[in-house]
């Protein structure tokens, strides 16, 4: 028997060793029946979950604090493995790093077998494979997250289970996460509101001569002060289309674009808002209005039962009727624990991927990031990005403030 760390009573302990799936179901933080159906559709017998975001999702928010920002350690890396047999959450197991043992000792989890025993990627996989054999799946179909499985662990998997069939399980886990609970939607809404608060505070504080670098660094501090884990800031000023923080100054009459992601308890807010020093002239007002016109059309298309691809198609058709269409593009992508998650719709953006969800109907609980960008050759980068949740009756925008021209430097006036 593999070493198991001592821990407080879990779902299995409190219900006894004979705990079955129904008993454990009340403690599981995700829809395990949906996961079982998705695994069945994909022909997967047992799932090996290894990405940090999916581990966090399936364990109800847990993340190894030692490895929050970096995976490398010594000659190997952190690799958590959650073993989930289809239809049997009562037989699930979590292979954790030894440095997680204290966290596991002070928090209860639904997983009946929690083992803080690994020290790297290969031994983590070997512990998991021992469990897979004990469960009787040595010749089964094993679902893995190929983009989140290091080569040495993948080789250990193939060597240790030579008669098993390795199946891509990433889409299964994406579709599981695609339907957000009320608690998840609240976190996404909170992330959006705190990012907007941070942007508006920074815009009001900085005036003519402030550099993009100064503004981006201030935004990072503002987001951190509001309890967000800062992810990034893409920023443009004036006619430049370069979105990197730099020493370029923001000047009177120039537009400023802030596109930032901030993480609130594992869920990402991702929005873009515009600012100007002084009053926007009629051309700037007209250009932002055209960007918002596409956004509003996309919002109206978001409703349960409608194929997600129709949102993209309708926005693209309207965009191509505008005289600026050669300098514009529209993207709609899923949002949640990561940027660009399911539902995956057609996109001609910088992150192209197969439109696996374009023909599937939108469902209540899905969340989309809707973004329209105009890269004007004279006036610069003008963009709006909003987060929209699908509701039973249509949609809800998470964070609706600051969508017009926000005036810069007002605190100094």
Query: In whole angstroms, how far apart are CA 265 and each of 32, 55, 147, 398?
Result: 22, 14, 24, 16
Structural fold of domain 11-178 = Creatine Amidinohydrolase; Chain A, domain 1 (3.40.350)
- pLDDT at residue 11 in the model: 33
How is the chain split into domains, by residue range? 11-178, 182-412
Q: How many CA atoms lie within 13 A of 157 on its CB side?
A: 27
Query: Judging by beta carbons within 10 Å of its beta carbon (0-12, 13-18, 19+), is residue 339 exposed, middle or buried?
Result: middle
Which tokens in the block code for residue 413?
A: 């006036």
Burial letters for 128-156: b for 16+ Cβ neighbours within 10 Å, e otherwise? bbbbbeebebeebbbbbbeebbbeebbeb
Is the pLDDT at 354 greater than 90, yes or no? no
Q: For the residues 235-255, what does the mean pLDDT come to? A: 98
Confidence of residue 338 (pLDDT cuts 50, 70, 90): very high
- pLDDT at residue 4 in the model: 40
Determine the Cα–Cα distance for residues 166 and 310; give it in Å rounded to an integer: 34
Residues in CB range of 169: below 8 A, 6 or more apart: 39, 42, 44, 47, 48, 49, 143, 144, 145
Structural fold of domain 182-412 = Creatine Amidinohydrolase (3.90.230)
Give alpha helix (H) positions in 161-273: 170-178, 182-205, 212-225
Is the pLDDT at 125 greater than 80, yes or no? yes
- pLDDT at residue 413 in the model: 62
Whole-number average pLDDT of the chain: 92
Q: What is the pLDDT of residues 15-35, one digit of tens each?
A: 333 345 444 534 899 999 999
Which tokens in the block code for residue 48?
A: 């090996």
- pLDDT at residue 201 in the model: 98
- pLDDT at residue 355 in the model: 87
Determine the Cα–Cα distance for residues 208 and 409; give it in Å rounded to an integer: 8
Determine the Cα–Cα distance for residues 143 and 43; give it in Å rounded to an integer: 9
With both helix axes pointing from N to C terminus, report the angle between 170-178 and 32-42 in degrees, rounded to the nearest 10: 150
Percentage of the residues of the chain whose pLDDT score is greater than 90:
88
Q: How many CA atoms lie within 13 A of 31 on its CB side?
A: 17
- pLDDT at residue 27 in the model: 85
- pLDDT at residue 348 in the model: 64
Query: In whole angstroms, how far apart are CA 410 and each of 206, 278, 308, 371?
Result: 8, 9, 41, 27
Is the pLDDT at 1 greater than 50, yes or no? no
Q: What is the pLDDT of residues 53-91, one digit of tens each?
A: 999 999 999 999 999 989 999 999 999 999 999 999 999
Confidence of residue 346 (pLDDT cuts 50, 70, 90): confident
Greater confidence (411 vs 192) lies with 192
Lowest-confidence range among 19-28, 41-50, 115-124?
A: 19-28
Tokens 């390795």: give the residue: 166
Confidence of residue 5 (pLDDT cuts 50, 70, 90): very low
Is the whole-model pTM more than 0.85?
yes
Give yes or no for a contact between 331 and 344, defined as CB atoms under 8 angstroms apart.
Answer: no
- pLDDT at residue 24 in the model: 53
Is the pLDDT at 135 greater than 60, yes or no? yes
Dihedral angle of Cα 312, 315, 316, 321, to the nearest 10 degrees: 170
Beta bridge partners of 116: 96
Which tokens in the block code for residue 187?
A: 């976190």
- pLDDT at residue 8 in the model: 32
Q: What is the pLDDT of residues 173-229, one digit of tens each?
A: 999 999 999 999 999 999 999 999 999 999 999 999 999 999 999 999 999 999 999
Determine the Cα–Cα distance for residues 104 and 47; give it in Å rounded to an integer: 21
Tokens 């400023």: give the residue: 256
Greater confidence (345 vs 396) lies with 396
Q: For the residues 243-249, what does the mean pLDDT come to? A: 98
Q: What is the pLDDT of residues 275-332, one digit of tens each?
A: 999 999 999 999 999 999 999 999 999 999 999 999 999 999 999 999 999 999 999 9
- pLDDT at residue 347 in the model: 63
Q: For the residues 241-268, what does the mean pLDDT come to? A: 97
Which tokens in the block code for residue 53?
A: 């975001």
């Amino acid at each position: 028997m593999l070493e198991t760390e001592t821990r407080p009573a879990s779902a299995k302990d409190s219900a006894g060793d004979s705990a079955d799936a129904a008993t454990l179901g009340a403690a599981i933080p995700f829809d395990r029946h949906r996961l079982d159906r998705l695994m069945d559709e994909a022909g997967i017998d047992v799932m090996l979950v290894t990405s940090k975001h999916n581990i966090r999702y399936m364990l109800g928010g847990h993340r190894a604090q030692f490895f929050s920002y970096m995976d490398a350690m010594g000659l190997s890396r952190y690799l958590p493995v959650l073993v989930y047999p289809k239809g049997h959450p009562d037989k699930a197991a979590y292979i954790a790093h030894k440095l997680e043992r204290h966290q596991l000792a002070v928090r209860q989890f639904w997983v009946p077998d929690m083992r803080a025993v690994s020290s790297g990627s290969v031994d983590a996989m070997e512990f998991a494979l021992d469990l897979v054999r004990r469960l009787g799946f040595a010749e089964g179909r094993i679902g893995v997250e190929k983009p989140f499985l290091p080569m040495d662990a993948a080789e250990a998997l193939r060597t240790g289970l030579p008669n098993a069939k390795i199946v891509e399980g990433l889409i299964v886990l994406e579709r599981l996460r695609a339907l957000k609970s009320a608690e998840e939607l609240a976190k996404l809404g909170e992330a959006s509101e705190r990012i907007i608060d941070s942007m508006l505070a920074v815009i009001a504080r900085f005036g003519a001569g402030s550099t993009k670098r100064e503004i981006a660094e201030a935004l990072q501090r503002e987001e951190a002060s509001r309890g967000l884990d800062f992810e990034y800031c893409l920023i443009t000023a004036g006619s430049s289309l370069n979105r990197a923080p730099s020493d370029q100054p923001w000047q009177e009459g120039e537009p400023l674009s802030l596109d930032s992601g901030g993480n609130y308890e594992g869920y990402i807010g991702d929005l873009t808002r515009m600012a100007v020093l002084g009053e926007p002239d009629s051309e700037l007002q007209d250009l932002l209005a055209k960007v918002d016109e596409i956004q509003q059309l996309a919002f109206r298309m978001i409703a349960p039962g409608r194929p997600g691809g129709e949102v993209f198609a309708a926005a693209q058709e309207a965009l191509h009727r505008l005289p600026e269409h050669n300098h514009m593009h529209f993207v709609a992508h899923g949002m949640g624990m990561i940027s660009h998650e399911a539902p995956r719709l057609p996109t001609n953006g910088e992150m192209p991927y197969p439109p696996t969800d374009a023909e599937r109907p939108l469902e209540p609980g899905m969340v989309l990031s809707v973004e329209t960008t105009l890269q004007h050759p004279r006036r610069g980068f003008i963009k709006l990005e909003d987060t929209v949740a699908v509701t039973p009756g249509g949609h809800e925008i998470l964070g609706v403030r600051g969508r017009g021209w926000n005036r810069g430097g007002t605190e100094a006036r």
